[in-house]
Chain A
């Protein structure tokens, strides 16, 4: 009889401790502890969206993202919408893991529904949505189980534009022009020149041209991007997300570059 309850249910190692003489706390554990290697919830993004761009302009906020969801280097889903209206005056743009984004869409939906059911005449504006997302993202990173996204939140509240960023670490910031992913490296210099350093705000047409130009530059240089994209605006009139747009691109320069076109020599 083994008098040590901690050993019950474990196969005894007769070779090692034939007469049960080993002190209790030193007994070799025969069974492998399920948590010996720690709980594995380290993850990586699987199906991903690339950059989101957003700027402040005359009438409010304008945001752009392409329609691609990649699976590694495979252009897997080419009709994905990454710009999500929330409530009446907020737009959320997502890059990073698309399944995590769908979960975020789900919780934002629940949130707005719950807010609506109170029927108190209040609803959530861009600042509240951003604050909420920042808390969710930070809470998840603190559980070492992040939602693998970088999000832009834009909107208009009492005629004032709002534009802010939040990512998988819970890092937040705001500026007159923002971009995630490759956009932060490639588009931000163009956006800052045209928006932050300009003496006056852009008109809607100027803003649209600027974002389209940036989407084009990104399409040329970001291998995980697509020439099909959408532009959303938030003005005091409300949120609107455009139909799918297509970039005008020129590839004739490739003709003269060896290895780029289809020369034989």
Chain B
């Protein structure tokens, strides 16, 4: 009230969540997967940092992208990594991708009544050598898909992916059919276009782009040779291989 008194008793509640913006995206190919995310971290209209990774390598064949509340995201990745380490010590091998997916569901649902405010996309190579993407909601519902966008610019990117990856609303020329999986260079081009578009129209997206490429065992790295600045993260050549590609995005 104008006289300084309170008309109603005031109650303030601590809000344990916030939104830190950004967008993530993953696309599966026949024998590879691309998992990408921008590197901006923001709160409201403030950019906290221009480089805060949202995409993390879990094993030699699994990469996890997290988006939403950054503190929950980092904590979640930390605990997933810990569980994977325990698994490795117990079984002397890396956990397979579909098992990691189920582990993530269980871990998310365990917090059903105080959820991790995080959208997860898990990408990598399945035991049969196929590229796979698993997407999750904050409480653990999940599904295997060929492509998925999540985060601030999900609504901008997902319909574009429907069109370019699933060929929705496109009729193939008579006697031909759409490919079920796109080649790696095409996928990378679509990922980059998706993020430049999202950066153009969404204030929470920008600064930098980090793309992880997971290649199935024995797959040629030929197509990556022509990609500027592709950096390998896996030490050994015998198994699946992970590469990271970084690009600048607009900073305004």
Binding site for B on A (CB under 8 A): 42-44, 138, 141-142, 144, 146, 165, 169-175, 184-185, 188, 196
Instruction: Pull 12 A–B residue pairs with CB atoms less than 8 Å apart, ordered by A.
Output: A42-B13, A42-B14, A44-B12, A142-B16, A144-B16, A169-B18, A169-B69, A170-B71, A171-B70, A171-B71, A172-B70, A184-B46
- Of all chain B residues, the one with the shortest Cβ separation from A146 is B14
**When the two chains form their complex, are residues B49 and A173 in contact, meaning their CB atoms are under 8 A apart?**
yes
**When the two chains form their complex, are residues A174 and B71 in contact, meaning their CB atoms are under 8 A apart?**
no
Contact bitstring B45-82, A, C-beta under 8 A = 1, else 0:
01011111000000000000000011100110000000
Residues of B within 8 A of A43 (CB): 14
Contact bitstring B103-143, A, C-beta under 8 A = 1, else 0:
00000000000100000000000000000000000000000
**When the two chains form their complex, are residues A185 and B46 in contact, meaning their CB atoms are under 8 A apart?**
yes
- Of all chain B residues, the one with the shortest Cβ separation from A137 is B71
Q: Whole-angstrom distance between the alpha carbons of A146 and B14 in the complex? A: 8
With A138-B75, A184-B46, A185-B46 in contact, do A173 and B70 touch (Cβ < 8 Å)?
A: yes
Does B199 belong to the interface (CB within 8 Å)? no
With A138-B71, A138-B75, A169-B71 in contact, do A174 and B49 touch (Cβ < 8 Å)?
A: yes
Residues of A within 8 A of B114 (CB): 142
The 3 closest A-B CB pairs, nearest first, are A170-B71, A173-B49, A175-B49
**When the two chains form their complex, are residues B48 and A173 in contact, meaning their CB atoms are under 8 A apart?**
yes
Select one of B11, B16, B20, B46 contacting A141, CB under 8 A.
Answer: B16
Residues of B within 8 A of A173 (CB): 41, 48-49, 52, 70
- Of all chain B residues, the one with the shortest Cβ separation from A185 is B46
Q: Whole-angstrom distance between the alpha carbons of A142 and B69 in the complex? A: 13
Does B232 belong to the interface (CB within 8 Å)? no
Interface SS of chain B: helix, strand, loop or mixed? loop
**When the two chains form their complex, are residues A171 and B49 in contact, meaning their CB atoms are under 8 A apart?**
no
**When the two chains form their complex, are residues A171 and B43 in contact, meaning their CB atoms are under 8 A apart?**
yes
- Of all chain A residues, the one with the shortest Cβ separation from B15 is A169
| A146, A173, A185 interface centre (most CB from chain B within 10 Å) | A173
- Of all chain A residues, the one with the shortest Cβ separation from B70 is A171
B residues 1-32 in Cβ contact with A at 8 Å = 11-14, 16-18, 20
Residues of A within 8 A of B43 (CB): 171
Residues of A within 8 A of B71 (CB): 138, 141, 169-172
With A169-B71, A170-B75 in contact, do A42 and B12 touch (Cβ < 8 Å)?
A: yes
Q: Whole-angstrom distance between the alpha carbons of A186 and B230 in the complex? A: 38
Residues of B within 8 A of A184 (CB): 46, 48
Select one of A142, A146, A171, A196 contacting B18, CB under 8 A.
Answer: A171
Q: Whole-angstrom distance between the alpha carbons of A165 and B20 in the complex? A: 14
Q: Whole-angstrom distance between the alpha carbons of A42 and B20 in the complex? A: 23
Least distance between A23 CB and chain B CB atoms (Å)? 30
Q: Whole-angstrom distance between the alpha carbons of A1 and B160 in the complex? A: 74
Q: Whole-angstrom distance between the alpha carbons of A188 and B50 in the complex? A: 13
Residues of B within 8 A of A146 (CB): 14, 16
Q: Whole-angstrom distance between the alpha carbons of A61 and B46 in the complex? A: 23
Residues of A within 8 A of B50 (CB): 175, 196
Least distance between A98 CB and chain B CB atoms (Å)? 18
**When the two chains form their complex, are residues A144 and B75 in contact, meaning their CB atoms are under 8 A apart?**
no
| A170, A174, A196 interface centre (most CB from chain B within 10 Å) | A170
Q: Whole-angstrom distance between the alpha carbons of A146 and B74 in the complex? A: 18
Residues of A within 8 A of B69 (CB): 169, 171
Residues of B within 8 A of A141 (CB): 14, 16, 71
Least distance between A198 CB and chain B CB atoms (Å)? 15
- Of all chain A residues, the one with the shortest Cβ separation from B50 is A175
**When the two chains form their complex, are residues B74 and A172 in contact, meaning their CB atoms are under 8 A apart?**
yes
**When the two chains form their complex, are residues B16 and A169 in contact, meaning their CB atoms are under 8 A apart?**
yes
- Of all chain A residues, the one with the shortest Cβ separation from B51 is A175
- Of all chain A residues, the one with the shortest Cβ separation from B46 is A184
Q: Whole-angstrom distance between the alpha carbons of A58 and B185 in the complex? A: 41
Q: Whole-angstrom distance between the alpha carbons of A184 and B48 in the complex? A: 8
- Of all chain A residues, the one with the shortest Cβ separation from B73 is A171
Residues of A within 8 A of B14 (CB): 42-43, 141, 144, 146
Residues of A within 8 A of B18 (CB): 169, 171
Residues of B within 8 A of A175 (CB): 48-51
Residues of B within 8 A of A142 (CB): 16, 114
Q: Whole-angstrom distance between the alpha carbons of A169 and B20 in the complex? A: 12
